[in-house]
Chains A and B, each alone.
Chain A
Amino acid sequence: MIRPGLVGIFADGAQAARAIAALRREGFEGFEVYGPVPHPAVEAALEAGVSPVRRYTLAGGILGCASGFALTIWTALQWNLVVSGKPVVALVPFVVIAFELTVLFGALATLLGVLVHARLPRLRPEVGQDPRFTGDRFGILVWCEGDRAAAAEVGLRRAGAEEVRSV
């Protein structure tokens, strides 16, 4: 079932941020904000927390470092022969492999984190979607119905929305 809502379209991010603040004062919650660029004022108005993507990076990095040492040490022990008096498990050269795998796994985990949390790839368009939002307009989708819709529309228009339409 599609929830009813309103989309307000704004010419700049500062207006959109003002609209979010005003709607939140009115008691509205759960917006989707769209824009061609990330906007600091919008982010501040939404008061969203720190993205959890950094934990993926850390976990990937630790896993990569451990895998690097595990792979090199385990494979070296598979052919347990001392050559030129050098230790079979030579940690110094293995640091290079462990370092590279730290970066590799860290980067791939970061990519995974972004995809999971940003919910990409997305096959179907979202309800509030508008091609202008990747061009030069900002948009706010607010979920509301009945009397609340009228209040939301007033809030959006007062903040400077060029256009308000229902979805």
Chain B
Amino acid sequence: MQPLTFRQVDRDILRTMEPPGRLYYGLLALVLAVILWGVYAWWYQIQTGLAVAGLNNPVGWGAYITNFVFWVGIAHSGTLISAILYLFRARWRTAVYRSAEAMTVFAIMTAGLFPLIHLGRPWYFYWLLPYPNQRNLWPNFQSPLLWDVVAIGTYMTVSVTFFFIGLIPDLATARDQATGWRRLFYGILSLGWRGSDREWRHYRSGYLFFAALATPLVVSVHSVVSWDFAMSIVPGWHSTIFAPYFVAGAIHSGLAMVITILLPLRRIFRLEAYLLPRHFENLAKLIIVTGLIVGYAYLVEFFLAWYSGNVYEHAVFLDRATGHYAPEFWIMVTFNAVLPLLFFIRRVRTSPAWLVGISLGITIGMWFERFVIIVASLAHSYIPFSWGLYRPTWVELSITAGSFAWFLFWFLLFAKFLPSVSMTEVKEQIPEEAG
């Protein structure tokens, strides 16, 4: 294969931003239709009341909170790839990090909707924010739900800023090669970047510190989300392993989503020279690691329930594996902990079909993991008097489908308007003589 040149990188990546074909518009229309259906379901819920969701005593947290935790999890691998692997100088991240970071931003935009939807009366959302008011009432910062607001708000702000900072030099390249309204559009977005030595010096320093700040942040965010559960005394939730367990699960699902999205993107945009089989192999290896951690956490949960000698813990976990939610539980175990082990086989982790198949399996499995943790615990806490069952209604399922469409909608726009592979970082890795 010919070594890449700077000019060829520009040409190949900017080509992905040319006006799209019919397939793209068809996909966009489909996605918009599903979003509209989800919006209708939400509108119906606001009009009729939260009772149209399947939420009731004892299961007060259902599909909405499941979706919230799931989408926050999806948001995690983007920062892992862009910040943590940057600090480790893992050079293979270059080609995949832009899309992963975009995914982070869109996933957190999706996750942020669910607490609002779950509120029932979303217009009172501002009660969660600390603002001066006549009655001198302030939010209770001892509550994990408040930590969540602060953590998610911070994560959203920082990941959007990090994403944007990374884009600036590429946007300047796009500006200098574009004409008409696109030139103006990229000109404004690139902040007038010139590529001068002064700009580069401060930019690189800032980027390093962004990565250094984002790294502990990404670990903290899903830990805080896990404390929404672990701080309560519900059997099945009240556990000290929750923070690392949730963080590993988050990265597990996020990596699977990166593979699921990048493989088709590579095919459609013909980016084979940039997204190499080696990159996907490395992602699959990371999935093995997170899959093993998640599998270990599943075992430890059961061990703790047994070793604690607490009858309620016993009952909850026995019920998970054999009771009403057993199918969901076994989907979770098989798809998250067993299926990824196939990546130990080289032929599996180098085959696009297997990669996408297993990644889709993990995405489904991780959704069910959140569902099992949330619903199965609430449905079976303490004495039989407080047991009950929950099934999502059509409203909840429609909004869930809408959230997937909403996420894809933003990704489709991203793929056409912004460079989905970082031109600057790819160029940086081209040896001098080839440039």
The number of inter-chain residue pairs (CB within 8 angstroms) is 185
Q: Contact between B130 and A54 (Cβ–Cβ < 8 Å)?
A: no
Inside 8 A of A71's CB, which chain B residues have their CB? 130, 141
Q: B146-186 CB contact bits vs A (8 Å, 1 = yes)?
A: 11001101100110011001001100110111000000000
Alpha-carbon separation in the docked complex, A46 to B199 (Å): 14
A1 CB within 8 Å of chain B: no
In the bound assembly, the distance between CA atoms of A94 and B150 in angstroms comes to 11
Q: With an 8 A cutoff between CB atoms, is B22 at the interface?
A: no
Partner of B157, one of A42, A54, A93, A104: A104
Q: Is the CB of A134 within 8 A of B165?
A: no
Could you tell me how many residues of chain B have their Cβ less than 8 Å away from some Cβ of chain A?
Answer: 59
Please, how many angstroms separate the alpha-carbon atoms of A14 and B6 in the complex? Answer: 15
A108 to chain B: which residues have CB within 8 Å?
157, 161
Note all chain B residues with C-beta closer than 8 A to A72: 141
Interface residues of B in 186-208 (CB under 8 A from A): 191-206
Q: Contact at A79–B137, with CB atoms within 8 Å?
A: yes
Residues of A within 8 A of B194 (CB): 34, 122, 125-126, 129, 133-134
Q: Smallest distance from the beta carbon of A124 to chain B beta carbons, Å?
A: 8
Contact status A75-B202, CB under 8 Å: no
Among A21-29, A109-117, A143-151, A157-165, the stretch that binds chain B is: A109-117
Contacts of B216 in A (CB 8 A): 99, 103
Residue from A79, A110, A131 in contact with B209 in the complex, judged by beta carbons closer than 8 Å: A110
CB contacts under 8 Å to A, within B67-104, are none
Any A CB within 8 A of the CB of B285: no
Query: Beyond A78-B138, A104-B157, is A136–B195 a contact (Cβ under 8 Å)?
Result: no
Inter-chain CA distance A27–B433, complex, in Å, is: 29
The stretch of B110-118, B288-296, B317-325, B424-432 that contacts the partner chain: B424-432
Is B147 in contact with A97, judged by CB distance below 8 angstroms?
Answer: yes
Is residue A3 contacting chain B, with contact meaning CB distance below 8 A? no
A50 at the interface (CB under 8 A from B): yes
Residue of B at shortest CB range from A46? B197
Check B158–A12 contact: CB distance below 8 A.
no
Q: Report the minimum CB–CB distance from B135 to chain A (whole Å).
A: 10
Say yes or no: B10 contacts A136, CB within 8 Å: yes
A122 near B191: Cβ-Cβ < 8 Å: yes
Assembly CA distance A106 to B169 (angstroms): 22
User: Is A82 positioned at the interface, with any CB of B under 8 Å from its CB?
Assistant: no
| A:27-81 near B, CB below 8 Å | 31-38, 42-43, 46, 48, 50-51, 53-54, 57, 61, 71-72, 75-76, 78-79
CB distance from A56 to the nearest CB of B (A): 8
Interchain nearest-CB distance for A81 vs B (Å): 11
Q: Which residues of B contact A97 (CB under 8 A)?
A: 141, 146-147, 150
B177 to chain A: which residues have CB within 8 Å?
131, 135
Interface of A is mostly: helix
A53-B176 contact, Cβ under 8 Å, with A71-B130, A93-B142, A107-B210 = no
CA of A166 to CA of B322 in the docked complex: distance in angstroms? 80
Whether A33 and B196, one on each chain, are in contact in the complex, defined by CB atoms closer than 8 angstroms, is yes
Taking the closest CB of chain B, its distance from the CB of A143, in whole angstroms, is: 14
Q: Is B136 an interface residue, CB under 8 A from the partner?
A: yes
Q: Which residues of A contact B10 (CB under 8 A)?
A: 135-136
Cα separation A76 to B165 with both chains bound (whole Å): 37
Q: A51-B205, A113-B206 are known contacts. Are A133 and B213 too (CB-CB below 8 A)?
A: no
Contact check, B139 vs A114: say whether CB atoms are below 8 A apart.
no
Cα of A164 to Cα of B193 in the assembled complex, Å: 22
B378 partner residues in chain A, CB cutoff 8 A: none
Q: Establish whether residues A136 and B428, one from each chain, have CB atoms under 8 Å apart when the complex forms.
A: no
Q: How far is the CA of A123 from the CA of B209 in the complex (A)?
A: 26
B7: which A residues are within 8 A, CB to CB? Answer: 135-136
- The reply to whether the CB of A96 lies closer than 8 angstroms to some CB of chain B is yes
B131 to chain A, nearest CB (A): 11
- Counting chain B CB atoms within 10 Å of each CB, the highest count among A125, A126, A132, A135 belongs to A135
Measured between beta carbons, the chain A residues less than 8 angstroms from B412 are none
Q: Give complex CA distance A86, B143 in Å.
A: 13
Query: Which of chain A's residues have a CB closer than 8 A to the CB of B197?
Result: 31-35, 42-43, 46, 48
Is B173 within 8 A of A36, CB to CB? Answer: yes
Specify which chain B residues have a CB less than 8 angstroms from the CB of A135 in the assembled complex.
6-7, 10, 173, 176-177
Q: Is the CB of B435 within 8 A of A136?
A: yes
- Is A13's beta carbon under 8 Å from chain B? yes
A interface footprint on B209-220 (CB within 8 Å = 1, 0 otherwise): 110011011001
- A-B contacts, 13 of them at CB < 8 A, read A13-B432, A35-B195, A35-B197, A51-B206, A57-B209, A79-B136, A100-B220, A111-B161, A114-B206, A117-B198, A124-B192, A125-B194, A126-B196
